[in-house]
């Protein structure tokens, strides 16, 4: 515990950025999540938003400016305390993906470029349990770590103006799902029919930073069924509680 | 009810924004020039979170179907009420059937129309601010109806106010951003010794700047961004994130605009000059 040297810096007058060592590591993410849970005991949720991502945690204050010197000392004290915090439950979510060529519009190109068959790509993409290192870019967009190195395809040279909602992409060392239609430069290999962000739900996004995601391949027929179940709200996402 | 006869270039309902969903990737949204809006809500004796119309570049033509009090602020857009010119920063009583329309953009870029007690459109995730896909529509369209409640008891205490006008200001006060220390002497000299101009790529998400800084090769892990964060791309492009800006980013965050500077920039359009001043 507390084995990391953290840096605390002002980010304008209304935010503070806390940074851990500059690397992608599950142990760092766990420490960020533990510290975030501890801060939640001290910082009023009506005033403070806490945004974790990879090796950082940004604290954003709504109302009056932050007195940085006092607050940063307080943050250090909290980081060093032995205070036990009940950590929030984290889950492994199993999400269906249809890798049909109609959805996986870049599968053929990725296949040729990486010298892998479509089936090999699917096997490599569905094998890992990806770690959610951050949520951002779009509502419900997860930054997933843990992509197999043989699927590390560079971003597309020219981003597309429109990528379909649910599109599953790979780019460099990352994979992820576009929760809404948007512009995007990742290579699209499939589509996930499950809505990842729904303003009608509480909370609107079921995934939290620190959760894990695993994909499983489904047929086109199963995709249609999931889509309909998702729309009427009866689709039940498979989840497994992770050990703390 | 407000009936929108013509919607103008880009008209949206805005309030203070969504303040609790950034960790799920939801931009804050809210009025770009919140300085102007807070003043309008103040003279109308509204709550600070009362929703207004944000009117960009070209104004709409709207018909009031019920009586209320209104006040205009932000950009100067030659507004008329039943064809009579009306001023910013002053309360007007409007009656059923009155028509508000806008003419030439004289100064600034975003005008605001506030009504007594604010517009009462649907609130999604704690805000009425329009942002697709959080709200079904990204902006108001011709023929839209924007509801507000009638407050018969309201008697304005003040009819007008003198404004601390930000429209003419060009200097953006900034704090050092988290990656400020990456800047070399040449980039620093460019940043604080040059006038910059707003690129045509400017909207509620971000303002890009025409002039480039020297290139860099620093890469960082994705981390949180805020409204007013100035990002520097590897090619030296400055991108200033605004109210609908994404909540995380991977470019170095070299500066952070003050809240006042965000309001000043919100009133700038393509080719307008700006400069940075370190606080």
Please check whether residue B38 is in contact with residue B164, taking contact to mean a CB–CB distance below 8 angstroms.
no
Residue of B nearest to A46 (CA): B20
For residue B53, the distance in angstroms to the closest alpha carbon of chain A comes to 23
Q: How many angstroms separate the CA atoms of A26 and B91, rounded?
A: 57
Closest Cα partner for A197 from B243, B247, B220? B247
Inter-chain CB proximity B246 and A137 less than 8 Å: yes
Mean pLDDT of B229-242: 96
Q: Which residue has the higher pLDDT, A49 or B218?
A: A49
Pairing status of strand B107-115 against strand B84-85: unpaired
Mean pLDDT of A84-107: 93
Mean pLDDT of B81-101: 97
Q: How many CB pairs under 8 A join A and B?
A: 109
Contacts of A201 in chain B (CB under 8 A): none
Inform me whether the pLDDT recorded for B187 exceeds 70: yes
Please check whether residue B125 is in contact with residue B23, taking contact to mean a CB–CB distance below 8 angstroms.
no
Write the CA distances from A120 to A98, A148, A153, A166, A191, integer angstroms.
Answer: 15, 12, 15, 22, 17
Chain A residues bordering chain B (beta-carbon distance below 8 Å): 9-15, 17, 19, 22, 24, 45, 49-56, 58, 60, 62, 133-141, 143, 179-180, 197, 199, 203-205, 209
Query: Residue written as tokens 């409007």?
Result: B94
Q: Which two tokens stand for residue B249?
A: 């980013």
Contacts of B28 in chain A (CB under 8 A): none
Inform me whether the pLDDT recorded for A244 exceeds 70: no
User: Which one of A6, A7, A9, A12 makes the best mutation probe of the B interface by having the most chain B beta carbons within 10 Å?
Assistant: A12
Mean pLDDT of B269-279: 97
Please report the pLDDT score of residue A155 as a whole number.
Answer: 87
Mean pLDDT of A216-231: 93
Please report the pLDDT score of residue B161 as a whole number.
Answer: 85
ipTM: 0.94
Inter-chain CB proximity A53 and B226 less than 8 Å: no
Please report the pLDDT score of residue A2 as a whole number.
Answer: 57
Contacts of A66 in chain B (CB under 8 A): none
β-sheet bridge partners, residue A123: none
Please report the pLDDT score of residue A233 as a whole number.
Answer: 78
CB atoms within 10 A of CB B194: 11
Q: What percent of chain A has pLDDT over 90?
A: 83
* Cα three-residue angle B236-B237-B241, rounded to 5 degrees: 135
Inform me whether the pLDDT recorded for B206 exceeds 60: yes
Residue of A nearest to B135 (CA): A199
Locate the DSSP E strands across A62-201. Answer: 91-97, 130-135, 142-145, 160-163, 167-171, 174-177, 182-184, 187-191
Inform me whether the pLDDT recorded for B59 exceeds 90: yes
Write the CA distances from A168 to A126, A158, B136, integer angstroms.
Answer: 12, 17, 24
Q: What percent of chain B has pLDDT over 90?
A: 94
Residue B78 DSSP one-character state: -
How much of chain A is helix, strand and coil, in % rounded to 5? 25, 30, 45
Mean pLDDT of A188-208: 94
Inform me whether the pLDDT recorded for B269 exceeds 60: yes
Inform me whether the pLDDT recorded for A153 exceeds 70: yes
Please report the pLDDT score of residue B218 as a whole number.
Answer: 87
Inter-chain CB proximity B24 and A197 less than 8 Å: yes
pLDDT in tens, A54-76: 999 999 999 899 999 999 999 99
Q: How many angstroms separate the CA atoms of A135 and A53, rounded?
A: 7
Q: How many angstroms separate the CA atoms of A215 and A230, rounded?
A: 17
Backbone angles phi, psi at A26, to 5 degrees: -60, -35
Tell me the H-state helices in B85-144. none
Of residues A12, A138, A199, nearest to B226 (C-beta)? A12
Inform me whether the pLDDT recorded for A159 exceeds 90: no
Q: Which two tokens stand for residue A62?
A: 């709504």
Residue of A nearest to B131 (CA): A139
Inform me whether the pLDDT recorded for A1 exceeds 60: no
Q: What percent of chain B has pLDDT over 70?
A: 100
pTM of this prediction?
Answer: 0.94
pLDDT in tens, A73-89: 999 999 998 777 887 89
Q: How many angstroms separate the CA atoms of A215 and A95, rounded?
A: 5
pLDDT in tens, B28-48: 999 999 999 999 999 999 999
Inform me whether the pLDDT recorded for A37 exceeds 80: yes
């Amino acid at each position: 515990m507390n084995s990391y040297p953290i840096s605390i810096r002002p980010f304008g007058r209304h935010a503070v950025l806390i940074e851990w060592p500059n690397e992608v590591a599950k142990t760092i993410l766990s420490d960020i999540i533990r510290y975030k849970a501890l801060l939640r005991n001290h910082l009023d949720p009506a005033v403070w938003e806490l945004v974790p991502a990879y090796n950082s945690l940004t604290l954003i204050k709504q109302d009056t400016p932050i007195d940085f010197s006092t607050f940063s000392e307080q943050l250090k004290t909290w980081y060093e305390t032995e205070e036990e915090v009940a950590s929030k439950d984290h889950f492994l979510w199993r999400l269906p993906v249809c890798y049909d060529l109609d959805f996986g519009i870049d599968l053929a190109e990725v296949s040729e470029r990486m010298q892998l068959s479509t089936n090999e790509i699917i096997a490599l993409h569905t094998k890992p349990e990806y770690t959610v290192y951050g949520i951002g870019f779009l509502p419900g967009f997860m930054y997933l770590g843990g992509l197999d190195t043989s699927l590390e395809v560079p971003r597309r040279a020219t981003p597309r103006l429109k990528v379909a909602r649910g599109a599953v992409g790979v780019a460099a060392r990352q994979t992820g799902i576009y929760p809404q239609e948007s512009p995007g430069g990742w290579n699209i290999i499939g589509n996930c029919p499950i809505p990842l962000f729904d303003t009608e739900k509480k909370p609107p996004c079921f995934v939290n930073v620190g959760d894990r995601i695993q994909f499983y391949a489904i047929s086109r027929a199963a995709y249609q069924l999931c889509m309909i179940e998702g729309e009427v709200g009866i689709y039940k996402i498979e989840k497994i509680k992770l050990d703390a | 009810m407000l009936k929108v006869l013509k919607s103008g270039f880009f008209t949206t309902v805005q309030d203070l924004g969504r303040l609790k969903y950034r960790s799920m990737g939801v931009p804050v949204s809210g009025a770009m020039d919140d300085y102007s809006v807070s003043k309008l809500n103040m003279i109308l004796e509204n709550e600070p979170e009362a929703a207004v119309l944000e009117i960009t570049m070209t104004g709409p033509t709207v018909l009031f179907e019920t009586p209320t009090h209104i006040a205009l602020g932000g950009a100067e857009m030659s507004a008329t009420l039943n064809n009579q010119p009306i001023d910013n920063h002053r309360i007007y009583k409007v009656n059923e059937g009155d028509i508000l329309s806008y003419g030439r953009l004289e100064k600034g870029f975003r005008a605001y129309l506030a009504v007594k007690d604010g517009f009462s459109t649907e609130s999604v995730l704690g805000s009425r601010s329009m942002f697709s896909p959080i709200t079904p529509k990204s902006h108001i369209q011709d023929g839209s109806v924007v509801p507000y409640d009638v407050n018969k008891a309201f008697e304005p205490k003040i009819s007008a106010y003198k404004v601390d006008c930000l429209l003419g200001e060009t200097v953006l006060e900034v704090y050092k951003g988290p990656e400020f220390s990456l800047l070399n002497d040449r980039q620093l000299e460019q940043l604080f010794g040059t006038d910059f101009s707003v690129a045509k790529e400017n909207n509620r998400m971000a303002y890009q700047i025409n002039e480039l800084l020297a290139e860099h090769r620093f890469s960082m892990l994705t981390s949180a961004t805020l409204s007013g964060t100035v990002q520097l791309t590897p090619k030296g492009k400055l991108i200033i994130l605004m109210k609908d800006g994404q909540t995380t980013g991977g470019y170095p965050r070299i500066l952070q605009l003050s809240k006042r500077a965000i309001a000043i920039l919100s009133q700038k359009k393509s080719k307008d000059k700006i400069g940075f001043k370190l606080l």
